[in-house]
Amino acid sequence: MTKGASVPKFTKRTAIYPQDHWEMPPPAARGNNTPSEVYEAVGQALSMWESIENSFAWMFQVLVEGKSVAAQRVYGSITTSHGRRVALQAASEVYFSIHHTPEEIRLYFSDLIANFKETSRRRENDSITAGLSVLDSPSARSKPE
């Protein structure tokens, strides 16, 4: 840890999210009324995902103790979410060892990476679902004139 940096105090290990957080909701009876509803929701989700990825890129830079944004560019060049998680985990192991990071912080980081994995899985599933929702929308089912 950086000299003078504060370490969060964890009184007990708690999950980042409730246990049922990643359960899939039941499928809707029908798709959205218009594709634009789906496009807007997908756009919002992708913007949020980009923000999350930017945060993990910054975290990677901190873990590799990069002095420039080169580390973030390296992180961004890893093409799969699995590869990015592996890179974060490997960098954290070295960083935590060098800086004698307390076990509760290491466990919290592991939970964070596990949730990143679930988020990635859901993002991929939601992208497929969004595509199917557009195909099932009333405007997609209407016959061209």
User: Looking at residues 103-112, what average pLDDT do you find?
Assistant: 90
Q: Give the per-residue pLDDT at 61.
A: 96
Domain layout of the chain by residue ranges: 35-141
Candidates 29, 24, 84, 96; CA nearest to 60 is 84
CB 107 within 8 A of CB 13: yes
Main-chain phi, psi angles of 14, to 5 degrees: -125, 150
81 is written with which tokens?
């979410």
Number of helices (H), then strands (E), belonging to the chain: the values are: 5, 0
1 contacts: CB under 8 Å, gap ≥ 6? 7, 99, 101
At residue 59 the predicted structure's pLDDT band, cuts being 50, 70 and 90, is: very high
Q: Give the per-residue pLDDT at 77.
A: 96
Candidates 125, 112, 141; CA nearest to 33 is 141
User: What's this model's pTM, rounded to 2 decimal places?
Assistant: 0.69
Alpha-carbon Rg for the chain, nearest whole angstrom, is: 20
At residue 12 the predicted structure's pLDDT band, cuts being 50, 70 and 90, is: low
- Distance set, CA 33 to CA 29, 36, 38 (Å): 12, 9, 9
Task: Count the Cβ atoms, other than its own, within 10 Å of residue 15.
Answer: 10
Average pLDDT over all residues of the chain: 79
User: Looking at residues 32-44, what average pLDDT do you find?
Assistant: 83
- Beta-strand ranges (E) seen in 4-56 are none
